[in-house]
Structure 1
Amino acid sequence: MSELLDRFEFDDAVERMYRAGEAAERAGRLREAAVHFRVAADQHLGDAAVRLARVLFALGEENEAAQWCAAAVQDGFSEAEELVLENSLKRQRFLEHAARIMVGAPTFDWLPSGMPSRHIAAPEIARRTAALRALDERYGGIACHTAVLEHLADVEPMVVVGDVPTWTAVAEVYELAGWTAFDSGQPGTALPHFAHALTLARQAEDESLIASVLTRAGRMFLHHNAPEDALKAFQLGFVAAHNAWADRRVLDDPPQAIASLTTKVRTYDEGRSRTLALTALARNHLALGDVAAATGFAAEAVASARNLRSARAEDHLHWLDQEARAAGASVLAEQISARPARSG
């Protein structure tokens, strides 16, 4: 009888460890979750080995995670094999997403689960992000990662009703969430944050932010012994940084800007990115006195913008119109002013 009671109490204790692991995982305390799941997995309790492997992959402990996956398969949990494959594909899918971002392909395949309960202005989001970034810099990611996730939960719904400044501000929160996850020893949870940051940064056409996110992802890959993936991330980040430089150089150094923009515009399909690049080409050719070339690029820009509802693109076309009138390029100016008015 005593042995049965001891066994019952032991099984109950193992069950409590499993539940504690679940609670820790939900709260984002992955190392604590791993400790609890490891005890349960040692006793072959249910799917504890699968749960442990998933947490270990998120922590970047791939060798131990693979061992527990093998143990789970032996216990009859065949889904553990898919977990190994899923982990091996994570970086590849992130880099493929980043490559699509760089060529301007549609990538907005995700939306927050709910609508905002209150309006949070972009400057307010940015102020809180800056404060959390300062904490990360001084005390490290572990000290502030939970606070960053709370901030993210508050501001993420603003994506649904936001504009360019809001998308940029929320993208910076996602970037910080990814960075502090990495610094907290959770590289597997960092990648989705970085991916969402890239998506929003592209939506805002913020090449500098895209370059920043890719550089941080590359540093994470390098830290976790994936130099080839790190190199790919750095290369994509370099392209984004070069694009950001080209955007800033518009009208400051027209020949160099034209060379960069000519390469850049070939990567874009019709839409905002292509419209902005074509307008910049027209402005730089106009600055060099090549009215014919400027007029040709302006015509392409107007055509590319015909289905756009973008205040930013409209501003750039307006600046081109003003510069054309100042330069006496009447045909070019008429071409711009004759475009259909943007609605909404």
Structure 2
Amino acid sequence: MNSIGSQSSSVTPEAWEDPEMRNALAAREVSTIYKLLRRRGVSQRQIAAMTGQSQSEVSEILKGRQVMAYDVLVRIADGLGVPRGYMGLAYDEVTAQRVAETSDTPEAEEPENVKRRKFLAHAAAVAVGAHVLGADSGSWVSNPVLTPAPGRIGMTDVRQVEAATRALRSLDYQYGGGFCRDAVVAQLSWGQQMLSSSGTDVVKRRLHVALADLHNLAGWTSFDVGLIDSARNHFGRALELAKAGESDELVANILYRMGRVYLHKEAPDDALKMFQLGQIAAQQSGSELAVAVICANQAWAYAMMGHEEQTMKLIGRTRDEFARANHGEAADWVKFFNEDDVYSMIGTVHTVLAQKVDAKHTKYAIPALTRAIDSYGEEVARNKAFNLSSLATNHLLDGDIDHGAKVGVAAVDLAQHLKSQRVRDRLEPLREEADKRRNFADARDLADLIGRFHETNQAV
């Protein structure tokens, strides 16, 4: 990679500090950036060599072709030696201060149950009330640093936010929240400044939705690395923006994700309250897929509470709503819920019932989880790790110790490549089941393996 001032680059460090260049970088106007470099005597061939593009690509960009893909923007920034923070692309020393403003600040003065009550009141006000964007929302809503904003924005600006969110969400699915959370939060510092810019009503509404989804992702990645207060901050802000953008479907998705935080913390009562609010928004949106996601997670909550009959009713409704959904028109934030994930949720719910109600549920959990695992590719490695852990647990419950231990080892092996606290936490039920069977060598070895894994992976 070329760096500023290196022998292979004609660009000096002062080039990036020029006011005109800084404005172009902040707006991600690659065409203008290249033109300014040309003025400084940098040839098209040099630009192409530094950015890994062909000369024809550089020529097209100089003629006005827009660059919006997140990965291409990162490659251009790194190739030219531009500090990523100047383009709002990811965490680095330049954006460190902005990231710190939205970091996970401990709120020791308030117990967790108080925070949950406050968030529920806020969620209810936003989801079913006439909430005013920017009104006092409580300590869980972040107050981003005010930064200079472009005077007017268009749909191209919004699409840049959407493209970045898609790229970062893919990284989260594949590698875990610890791999990309800082980049997501830094991306917000660039995107949120546009809220004060002028634009048409259509553009502003879509901007609100785009930024809501980016906050939604920031909340999800924060949750994945164990930063619960930070997750609540981002989800709270996401709710406000989604409501301002008039997207009931996204409101439902945000509430589902916050509910998942409480499920993970073994608070199914609080999770169910989030899901019930989410169900209202999902039904208002007219999206069967959004309804299916909520139903599946309600089933999970009822399973944790030991309510077998209600759980099975909701699994049935999940199947029905999913079958009726228009998957081709699904929004980015809900596209993940495909047939593989339906089987994953069915297997997960039966696993909980097998542990809490009746071990007979393993006969439903095992085939569902196996089907999901066999269909998952590397792009959803975290989901595969979750399911391997659950499948191993079922085999242990079913008395198939050897196979359960073998699948459990595979789960640990995959977890080692992921930056996800959730994956580590979800190995704990498997460790407990293996520990109960320490008289079997394979189970004992698995329990010890997971124990060592936890000891050496305390931080994401």
TM-score between the two structures when normalised by the length of structure 1? 0.48
- Greater Rg, structure 1 or structure 2? 1
Counting helix residues as a fraction of each chain, which structure ranks higher? 1
